[in-house]
Amino acid sequence: MRAELSFAPLSGIETELLAVLAADTQTAKGPDAKPQPTLLVADPSVQAAAAAVLASGEYKAGANETVLLHAPAGLAAKRLLLVGLGKLAKATVHSVRHAAGTAIRFAKPRGIREVVLALPPSEILPAATSGRAAVEGAFIGDFDPDTYRSDRKDQSIQSFTLAAPAGADPKTVEASFAEGVIIGESQNFARSLVNEPGNKLTPTVLGQRAALMAQEVGLDWEVHSTDKLHELKMGAFWSVAQGSAEPPALIVLRYTPEGVANGPILGLVGKGITFDTGGISIKPADNMEKMKYDMAGGAAMIGAMRAIALLKPRVRVIAIVCAAENMPSGTAQKPGDVQTAMPLTPGKPGKTIEIINTDAEGRLVLADGLTYARQLGATHLIDAATLTGAIKVALGMVTAGAFSNDDSTYARFAAALQVSGEKFWRLPLGDEYADLIKSDIADIKNTGGRWGGAMIAAEFLHTFAEDTPWIHLDIAGLAWVEDSRPYIAKGPSGIGMRSILEWVRSF
Ligand code: BES
Ligand code: MN
Ligand code: ZN
């Protein structure tokens, strides 16, 4: 999708589809309080073209509600699409992100290849943030997961134009637009990785894709495999990889801004299980095919690094993605096995882990990933993982889970969520959870009983993050969109990438 910015008056823009936003300005409640759909556009010709449908009562400007008008009088556009934001009082830039996605997804199946979206006037929503959100939403909406269909009709939008509101500061809108392009493309890059099936995207291929991206945007990169795992004594990571014929990949991406020699080093650690069968503690067949998305945390980190390389924040960042396949085989680890995790100080003994369930593999690869990030000098850590089914039970498919051992580091993340619009909810850590993973034979065990599984998994990781300020994101419930919505296709969501990016930019 090509994206452009226009400062031309709306009525003169020649296009297949001009999309404008509408909101319900009714503030009264009760049975007589009829919706008052109102266009969020100053242009009088657009107002005139939409006047009849707004007066008809057919259209209420509900969230992502659309109505299409052909050959709108007085406009150069062939079609005028109204996209609702819902109640104006509750409308935010996040509603604009969705509305932009809705406009794109309206156009796609109808053979429309060109969309212009008018930003609302700055008095309603500031262009500095709504421009970016709109462009992100357009890219997100343009993504479809049908990569391998022979009858794939390429329905992607060829040209998307953001029309700036009259009177907006051009520099502000330009910056906001440019950010939106980078972030939207990076999120789609992450989604395209998550969408790939396990046979196409092995750990090795994930490493190649990350390396290719790194070269394109100018990041330093290394992709290691089995030998390096042994050299670093990554016994936890290797214990997952050992059951597969596919070698693991230890992906390291580095962003070092020029002239920044001091200050924090941020460590981004992603779970990159390219397929999770459960191993010897094998998963039931139902929905197992979905376990190709068990590398979504790793993809979020790779996508975030792409955006970081292009947006150039003044902070050093190292991303580590631990990629492996979790398979049952003659070489697979067994319940009861004891593994030794990577030591923080080379030469010292690493922590020992009793494997209770080989399906609790994400925490094993992340344990060594977190330790490696600390060894490489990370002062602050953030990890993302499709870690537990328990987080889905706790928060549903609506909100993702977050954990932290440091309130001020988490405060940055909470602020980042206001920008990204992603939904995370902080859940507790605590010694009582840590007590549940004490082992009789080793330092810890990898599962701790039935209840509170998301917190127990987080405490397992906490054992390896120790006192380094750290955030853990459990995205198991949100990495895959189960039912398509007006603004996003079903399939990989790209959750986490935008919030991780904003967290990095806050330093
Ligand atoms: N990858 C799964 C978690 C998962 C479940 C992700 C559903 C996405 C959707 C993880 O490796 C896993 O299997 N976790 C186990 C842990 C258990 C054995 C303690 C789980 O949640 O059942
Ligand atoms: Mn598993
Ligand atoms: Zn897993």
For the stretch 209-247, pLDDT in tens is 999 999 999 999 999 999 999 999 999 999 999 999 999
Cα-to-centroid distance, 30 and ligand 1 (Å): 46
Sorting pLDDT into bands at 50, 70 and 90, what band is 179? very high
Of all protein residues, the one whose alpha carbon is nearest to atom 14 of ligand 1 is: 388
Of all protein residues, the one whose alpha carbon is nearest to atom 13 of ligand 1 is: 359
Least confident of 42-56, 144-158, 305-319: 144-158
Q: Is the pLDDT of residue 152 over 90?
A: no
Cα-to-centroid distance, 393 and ligand 3 (Å): 16
| Exposure class string for 124-152: b at 16+ Cβ within 10 A, else e | bbebbbbbbbbbbbbbbbbbbbeeeeeee
CA angle at 410 for the pair 407 and 411, rounded to the nearest 5°: 85
**For this structure, is 306 an active site residue?**
no
Question: Cβ–Cβ contacts within 10 Å for residue 447, how many?
Answer: 21
Question: What residue ranges line ligand 1, CB within 6 angstroms?
Answer: 276, 294, 357, 359-362, 386-390, 447, 453, 476
Catalytic residue among 306, 363, 445, 498: 363
- Ligand 3 is an ion; its neighbours by CB within 5 Å are 273, 276, 294, 362
Ligand nearest to the CA of 450: 1
313 to 180, 258, 352, 503: CA distances (angstroms): 15, 10, 38, 11
Residue 494, sorted as left (phi over 0), alpha (psi -120 to 50) or beta, turns out to be left
Of all protein residues, the one whose alpha carbon is nearest to atom 16 of ligand 1 is: 360
Q: What is the pLDDT of residue 369?
A: 99
**End-to-end CA, the chain:** 31
Contact 77, 116 (CB under 8 A): yes
30 secondary structure, DSSP code: S
Cα-to-centroid distance, 228 and ligand 3 (Å): 22
- Work out the percent of the chain whose per-residue pLDDT is above 90: 98
Q: What is the pLDDT of residue 151?
A: 79
**For this structure, is 363 an active site residue?**
yes
- Ligand 2 is an ion; its neighbours by CB within 5 Å are 276, 359, 361
CA distance 423 to 414: 10
Q: Which residues contact 255 (CB under 8 A, 6 or more apart)?
A: 219, 220, 305, 308, 309, 316, 317, 318
Query: What's the one-letter identity of residue 166?
Result: A
CA 488 to chain centre: 13
Ligand 1 pocket test, pick from 291, 354, 388 with the greatest ligand atom count within 8 Å of Cβ, gives: 388
CA distance 456 to 454: 5
Alpha helices in 64-202 (DSSP H): 93-107, 127-142, 170-195
